[in-house]
Amino acid sequence: MNKTPSAAFGHRMRRLRVARGWSIRDIAEKLVEVGHPANEATIHRTETGKRRVTLDEAIPIAAVLGTTVTALVALGPTWEELVIEQSKLSPEESEQRWRDEEVRQQERSQLEVEHE
């Protein structure tokens, strides 16, 4: 898991770019199209966590990638990442995780009742 919002931003920026089949040059060109030029070295440093992104940069990057700034800076897994992880499970594994979570919820409820 990423330890800072800047690290999360860069990591997710790269994952989304690669998932779209875009090179660093491709995203740089798309940023020019929306009026926010960025050179390839800047994009690379941002993606690798060697450079912090500013809010003025984050907004057009998120727009070009079809996501939100909030999703890019989230420190925990995003809903999209959880769905992707879940889709990799077999139906049996998915059902077991659901049951395990159900048991944990029941245990938490029981603890809350006991502490009242």
**Contacts for 73 with CB less than 8 Å, ≥ 6 apart:** 5, 6, 8, 9, 58
Residue pLDDT tens, the chain, 116 long? 567 888 889 999 998 999 899 999 999 999 999 999 999 999 999 999 999 999 999 999 999 999 899 889 887 776 666 666 667 767 777 677 777 777 777 777 777 777 66
CB 51 within 8 A of CB 13: no
Q: Is the pTM of this model over 0.95?
A: no
- How far apart, in whole angstroms, are the C-alpha atoms of residue 76 and residue 50? 20
